[in-house]
Amino acid sequence: MDWGLKNRIASIIKPTNNRGVMLAVDHGYFLGPTEKLEAPKRTISPLLKYCDSLMVTRGIVRTSVDPNFPVPIVLRVSGGSSIIGADLSNEEITTSVKDAVRINASALAMSIFVGAKYEHDSLVNLGHLVNDAEEYGLPVLAVTAVGKELEKRDARYLSLSCRIAAEFGAHIVKTYYCENFEKVVNSCPVPVIIAGGPKIPERDALALTYNGIRAGAAGVDMGRNIWQSQYPIPMIRAVRAIVHSNYNLNQAYELFQKLCKEYPVKNNPSQGFPGKMQQKPQQNQQRPQNKPQQNQQRPPQKPQQNQQPQQKPQQNQP
């Protein structure tokens, strides 16, 4: 392994503790405009400074990622099927290594489908990609995808998939967390990072992160459980606290709850969505409108003055 390849891996998995927080935003290559990723730039920009690397496609990196921000890019280079297609395992290499070099990617990522209809194609593609990428000193991250068959996510299957990925030359492997995850990690000679998977409650996602790190994972590649959260910045900061600051589950969740108070605008990483922020001025405009009405009622209708205290609590509630 030459210097350039080692250096790029170190930008993704930090050598200080051999861990990393990768933000996954490559979902559109088969899911299209999934929830909260309809406008990628608005979702990605405020989260960049909290991740160690960004997993993304070339289309989104060129249109939605600030080129002046020094975040390592893990470039998704496989695809060819969609969520409405017959078989998600039917993928090919869709982005050349030369284009990845032009983008200044720090690593390349592709999916393998062990046990699926197109297992052979995906594994051969992995071997070819490693051959081509190593000529440029680029590491390859293999994603042990299961397509639509989520029931495959057990230690026996994932150990098999991760080991095969490493045998074909992958430098990092991304897989799902499962029971007996130590078996998966111990049978794979290269770093293993865990996928966040579909959206689950925040505490559950933090538990997944904590349990994975305890079992030996080198970090996480989390997407939907961060940017589909009502509080994406507190969520990624809590995940980061587990990975890099050795927070336990309770400490991380307490941090998440505390940070939520600092980010009161829900469902909006940038806190710049006008529909949310225009509500407070409307509340302030209502206060002065009530006072003239009170002054007009006093002279002609003195008996109604006793009813005025009912309005005061409303003035203090905004």
Tokens of 105: 């990617």
Q: How far is CA 212 from CA 198, 206, 223, 254, 279, in A?
A: 16, 10, 16, 19, 41
- Residue 19 is given by DSSP the state B
How far is the C-alpha of 15 from the C-alpha of 26, rounded, in Å? 25
Please state whether beta strands 78-79 and 92-93 pair in parallel, antiparallel, or not at all (unpaired).
antiparallel
Per-residue b/e over 135-162, b at no fewer than 16 CB within 10 Å?
eeebbbbbbbbbbeeeebbeeebbbebb
**4 three-state secondary structure:** helix
Active-site positions read 174
Q: Kindly provide the b/e burial profile for residues 290-316, where b requires at least 16 CB atoms within 10 angstroms of the residue's own CB.
A: eeeeeeeeeeeeeeeeeeeeeeeeeee
The pair of three-digit structure tokens given for residue 239, joined into one six-digit string = 């995940």
The three-point CA angle 17-157-198 to 5° equals: 65
